[in-house]
Every structure is written in structure tokens, then in C-alpha cells.
Amino acid sequence: MRDVVPLAGGLRNATYRLESTGGATAVLQLLEEPTLAAGRVELARHLPVVLAEVGVPSPRLLDADPEGRPPWLLRQWVPGRPGSAVRTTAEGRRLAAGTGRWLVALTAADPGDLRLYRAWARPKALEGLVARWLARLALPGDVADALDADAALTRREARPAVLAHGDCSPRNTVVDADGTPVALIDVEFARWADPRFDAAWWQVVAALDGPGRAAPLRTALRAATGLGAADAPVEAALGRLRLLEVAAHTARRGEEGAGAWRERLVAAARTSR
């Protein structure tokens, strides 16, 4: 092995770019939750094929060991840079528009018998999870009330579930030199969810990565996905509930940065009303 480079990415799992002495490049991901490793590897093996069928490129799995210590998987390397690294408004719009077209394509994807997380496709089950996450975080009363209202809104306005990436964001998109997306990576959080779920979370993370550029990116993404004004309240609610999920899980695991996710959640719940 000639070079090992840590990579910044999504929410979890240490990730490295490996380059062999022969010049071959791949991505190694160390999976942090051993009990979930077999399922993560299954998704990494099969979902890129499913996504390719609807025109969404995603790197293929090269090798994996879900029973390793730690479990790991090795993926194809996709040349480019993360979408979170785009700097100009024009690049951001190309990133957002291209991602939006992929999200539309995902609604037609058929994962067959793949085992996918279903709680976000079952509004009553999601309300139960929201209650558990709120109890774990012990949030201020006004914040908890606002998030309870979000859960109720998503239940009332639920749409039939589709395949969702689960952690769709600029961070999990590879783009070329002008900001055009060329691959969607890190599919291990795929789930059934409301068709607006991925777009909602993408907007949350885009705003975290570049607050000053969030508005044009949001406009371009929503236009490409066909989301209208009537969808906006549910999008916002789904984004806050996903933020709640992330805050609760990072707190449960005592992860570095858990406090920052909690602060973002409180701010989002209070400034959105």
C-alpha cells in the first residue's frame, strides 16, 4: 500500500482512500456498529445495482468483511470532490439540480427483497420513535412540543413511501470540476420514507455546510424535484425530525459532536416557528 488518506464524509464510519503501489485506488470504510454490519454490507453490495437501473451512479462494492474487528467494506473510488466542497453559486446550483433529478429517479427504484429500515414509512411508528428520542435528549419543553407537532404533521400529510438514500447530502455526493454530481455514495442508511425525506435532509446539511449559499441551493433542488409551496412545511418537519434522530443517536453513543447536533436541533425547532 502506497498511500492511506482519511476522508471527510457523512455522519458515521471512518473512511479512507487507499492507493496501492500499482496505482489502484479504492475506498475503505470501517463500520462502527458491528451488530448492523451485515445489513450495511448487504446494502453496499446490492443497492448500487438498483440505483444504476434508474440512472443514479453509485460506487460498487469490491470486498467486505462484516465479521471483522472492526467490520469493513471496500468500495470503488470515484474521482472528484465532495459536493460540500463547491464554492460558487453556479457550482452549487449544478450540484442541487443534478441531485434533485436523482431524487426523482429514486422514486422509481425497486430494491426488491432488500431489507430496508421501515420506521420512516410508518407514521405511527415514527411518532413512537420521536417520543423515545425526545426522552433520551431531555429537551426544553417548547422544543419537544415543536417536534411533537412536526411528527403529527408528517403523519397527517404522509405520502406513499419510496426508496430513500437516508443520508442524502452534498457531503455524500461526488462532483466533477464544475459542480455536476457524478456519484451518490454511502448508501448504507437507505430506507423506505416519504418522497420528500431525502430532499428535506439535503437542505438541512447544505445549510450547515454553507449558510450563505443555502437559499439558491434550496431553490435549485426543489425545482428539480418538483416540490411546491404546499410541500415546504412537511419538508421542514422531516428535516427537523431527521436532525432529532441524528442528535439522539450521537448522544446515545456519546460521540464527539453530540452536543453540537443537539444545539442545531434546538435552534432549528425554535427559529422555524
User: For the segment 80-110, what is each residue's pLDDT rounded down to a tens digit?
Assistant: 999 999 989 999 999 999 999 999 999 999 9
CATH number of 85-271: 3.90.1200.10
Q: What contacts 151, CB < 8 A, 6 or more positions away?
A: 123, 126, 127, 130, 237, 241
Give mean pLDDT, residues 178-186: 96
Q: What is the pTM of this model?
A: 0.93
3-state secondary structure of 72: strand
pLDDT at 70: 92
pLDDT at 11: 55
Number of CB atoms found within 10 A of residue 8's CB:
9
**Whether the predicted pLDDT of 2 surpasses 80:** no
Give mean pLDDT, residues 165-193: 95
Angle at 159 (CA atoms; ends 129, 171), nearest 5 degrees: 65
What separation in angstroms does the CA of 16 have from each of 25, 28, 79, 164? Answer: 10, 5, 14, 25
Look up residue 157 and give its three cell numbers.
Answer: 400529510
Of 231, 166, 174, 211, residue with least CA distance to 59: 174
Give pLDDT tens digits for 19-51.
Answer: 887 778 999 999 888 888 999 999 999 999 999
Q: What contacts 239, CB < 8 A, 6 or more positions away?
A: 200, 201, 203, 204, 268
CATH 3.30.200.20 describes domain 3-76: yes
> Where is pLDDT greater, at 147 or 213?
147
pLDDT at 76: 96
Q: Where along the chain do the CATH 3.90.1200.10 domains lie?
A: 85-271
E strand spans, 77-185: 81-82, 162-164, 173-175, 181-184
Contact between 98 and 123 under an 8 Å Cβ cutoff? The reply is: no
Q: Where along the chain do the CATH 3.30.200.20 domains lie?
A: 3-76
pLDDT band at 9 (very low <50, low <70, confident <90, very high): low
